[in-house]
Structure 1
Amino acid sequence: MFDMKNLGRLKKLDEHAPDVMKAFWAFDKAAFAEGALSAREKQLIAVAVALTTQCPYCIELHNKAAREAGASDAQLSEAAMVAAAIRAGGAVTHATHLFAG
């Protein structure tokens, strides 16, 4: 199912939902623009989120963008471990629901 070529089909969304997609692309561009966080920091966050959502498209796209923004293997590795800790933490904290209060 996963094939980067599928992203070419985004044009269909642009075509059939132009107002919404224009708003989405503008939002996406604004979200990743330099600000209080650098472009590299934002891409490292995106990589971590992509790993937690397990979206292969996002992982590939944001890994590439993070590297282009100067992210190192060490930074990407730490972002991945933060993502792993958040996933594990969610399981641990939700485990509290297993016990009667």
Structure 2
Amino acid sequence: MTDPEHQERMTQLEQRIEAAKRAQDPKPRADEHYSAANLAWRMVIELVAGLGIGFGIGYGLDILFGTLPIFMVLFTMLGLAAGIKTMLRSAKEIQKEQEAEQAERNERT
């Protein structure tokens, strides 16, 4: 056997193995794909959690130091900013997943 023939047969074998692996891949489960409502609730919960944590920290500091609601307002605003930042990070993550799925679908066709 010559070297180019051997390389060609190896390439064909690798392609057949890859095709067999793809055929054996499990199908994606329906419950792993989030609906739009689930994604919206996730983002709302992230925002509310940021607000709640910021409010709790600020209120606790105000009680501890006996101040006016200065810390409560400050930390509520910081919690809002953290919640929005987390929401945006989640949106980017979801967008990347959807782009990867779309690229995979395009690759199959």
TM-score w.r.t. length of structure 1: 0.33
TM-score w.r.t. length of structure 2: 0.32
Query: Going by fraction, where is helix more abundant, 1 or 2?
Result: 2
Higher Cα Rg: structure 1 or 2?
2
